[in-house]
Amino acid sequence: MIRGRPTKLCLVFATLLGALVLGGCEGGQSALHPAGRGAEDIAQLFWWMWSGAALIWLAVMAIAFYATQARPEAHSEAGARWLILGAGVAFPIVLLTVLLMYGLAMMPGLSATADADLRIEVAGEQWWWRVRYQTEEGEAVELANEIRLPVGRRVVLELSSPDVIHSFWVPSLGGKMDMIPGRVNQLLLEPTRTGVFRGVCAEYCGSSHALMKFEAVVMPVDEFDSWLAAQAQPAQPPQDEAARRGMQAFARNGCSACHAIRGTEADGIMGPDLTHVGSRLTLAAGILGTDVDDFTHWIAQTHRIKPDAYMPAFDMLPEQELRDMAYYLSELE
């Protein structure tokens, strides 16, 4: 009885720990709660691997228990040799080969990018995501830190980077893929249910690496089509005096050197396109919301919020001017 107690305690502890760890695997950023074809395959692979590892662990524990508690005396040489050859050489070779084959067989399906319904270019910038849709009219729609996808469609992301290596990852939708300067990597996503899923950069890329998040929004197909048509429209002109002042301040302070607002004279390409920035879910790559206070905070405190971002902070501007600009931008829906 006394011998069995530590083993039982270990099992209870391992089960509790497992339940705690897996309890965190829900929600919009979980590879174990898939919402896309690729993520489903990867989750399945994970469970097979996990089950294989758990079986081996149990077998090793059973043998250790047998050797130390049940029959601690010396074994015959022939018996020991069979145990080493069987359980130490043959068993791992067979099991690992089976798991490897199973994993390799999955790869062609995960990377078949030829027959895509939609292609979206995504570039990893310092530290945000440039997202570009080519519309049928020929004009590109560009946005930042938000990727909208139609449910049930095969979408190929063309991933690139102008400077350093990033890694694109939406755990709920698919696998991760490096974004490497000088080449375009393709990643297939096929969302199976609607929702908002969190994406991250999975490769250390500099001081604000942990501050480049994004949202992948999976929408019904007709909603997606009307969303894209609305995004293709130029920005709406200022509706009131405060927005007009904000627009003038935006031009006066040189913001258009880096930012474009289609339908106005702002046509910079360094920073995010702001044509419909007020309609986005987040600002500063998942850090802030998009109300007037958030815009004000971001424009004045850029480097406190995101160290080493290229955008300079404009905390030298009068409060009213900052708020006018923030209001103008938040109204660009």
For residue 45, what are its two tokens? 């692979």
Q: Looking at beta carbons only, is 205 or 242 nearer to ligand CUA? A: 205
CB of 167 to ligand CUA, least distance (A): 7
Q: Looking at beta carbons only, is 169 or 295 nearer to ligand CUA? A: 169
| SS3 of the chain: helix, strand, coil, percent, to 5 | 45, 20, 35
**Is residue 260 a contact partner of residue 268, using CB atoms and an 8 Å limit?**
yes
CB of 189 to ligand CUA, least distance (A): 19
**Is residue 276 a contact partner of residue 262, using CB atoms and an 8 Å limit?**
no
CB of 127 to ligand CUA, least distance (A): 6
Residue 107, CB-side half-sphere exposure with 13 Å CA sphere = 6
**Is residue 61 a contact partner of residue 68, using CB atoms and an 8 Å limit?**
no
Q: Looking at beta carbons only, is 203 or 321 nearer to ligand CUA? A: 203
**Is residue 196 a contact partner of residue 28, using CB atoms and an 8 Å limit?**
yes
Residue of 144, 170, 169, 151 whose CA lies nearest to 280: 144
Q: Looking at beta carbons only, is 180 or 251 nearer to ligand CUA? A: 180
d(CA 285, CA 221): 25
Residue 327, CA distances (Å) to 179, 253, 324 in order: 34, 15, 5
CB of 129 to ligand CUA, least distance (A): 9
Q: Looking at beta carbons only, is 127 or 295 nearer to ligand CUA? A: 127
Q: What angle do CA 76, 80, 83 make, to 5 degrees?
A: 145
CB of 156 to ligand CUA, least distance (A): 21
CB of 120 to ligand CUA, least distance (A): 18
160: which strand partners? Answer: 123
Q: Looking at beta carbons only, is 169 or 328 nearer to ligand CUA? A: 169
Q: Looking at beta carbons only, is 201 or 292 nearer to ligand CUA? A: 201
Q: Is the peptide bond before 127 cis (omega within 30 degrees of 0)?
A: yes
Q: Looking at beta carbons only, is 169 or 314 nearer to ligand CUA? A: 169
Tell me the one-letter amino acid at 115: D
**Is 68 strand, coil or helix?**
helix
181 Cβ contact list (under 8 Å, min separation 6): 160, 161, 162, 163, 164, 165
CB of 200 to ligand CUA, least distance (A): 8
CB of 126 to ligand CUA, least distance (A): 8
CB of 164 to ligand CUA, least distance (A): 7
Q: Looking at beta carbons only, is 127 or 250 nearer to ligand CUA? A: 127
d(CA 185, CA 156): 10
Residue of 272, 313, 255 whose CA lies nearest to 128: 272
13: which strand partners? Answer: none
**Binding residues vs ligand CUA (CB under 6 A):** 124, 127, 166, 201, 203-205, 209, 212
